[in-house]
Amino acid sequence: MDVPVPVLTPHMKTVHVPTPGMSYVGDAGRLVAGYLPSPERLAFYGGLGVAAILGAIDWPVAAAIGIGTMVARRTGRGMDAMRGRARRSTSRT
């Protein structure tokens, strides 16, 4: 005589968390890309590094050139923004 035996499987609730369309890798890539310089500046800094490695210039000189260039670019950008604000404020009067 065959008696049917019910098979009980446990039911587990799962929580589905909605995520944005991008993966963690894509988000991390965008975050890192925001901190990197433009490709032209990256090539310039890379060239300085290669010149220092090959011994064409000493590494302290390469570091000073790289840091000086970064400071000059940031300072120049700040001065342009201040000049633009000054022009806008004087043109309103």
24-73 pLDDT, tens digit each = 667 777 888 888 888 899 899 999 999 999 999 999 999 999 999 988 88
Answer whether residue 13 is part of any domain.
Answer: no
- Asked if the structure places residue 80 within a domain, the reply is yes
| Residue 14 in domain | no
Domain count, the chain: 1
Residue 92 has a pLDDT of 54
Beta carbons within 8 Å of 45's beta carbon, 6+ residues apart:
37, 66
Query: The whole model's pTM is what?
Result: 0.49
pLDDT at 76: 72
Residue 23 lies in a domain: no
Q: Is 81 a domain residue?
A: yes
Structural domain of 77: 38-91
CB half-sphere exposure, 39, CA atoms < 13 A = 0
DSSP label of 91: H
- Neighbour count for residue 62 (Cβ, 10 Å): 19
Dihedral angle computed from the Cα positions of residues 24, 28, 31 and 37, in that order, rounded to the nearest 10 degrees = -150
Task: Look at residue 60 in the predicted model and tell me its pLDDT.
Answer: 94
pLDDT of amino acid 30: 80
Burial 38-51 (b: 16+ CB within 10 A, else e): eeeeeeeeeebeeb
Higher pLDDT, 22 or 5: 5
In a domain, 73, yes or no: yes
Contact indicator for 81, 88 with CB cutoff of 8 Å: no
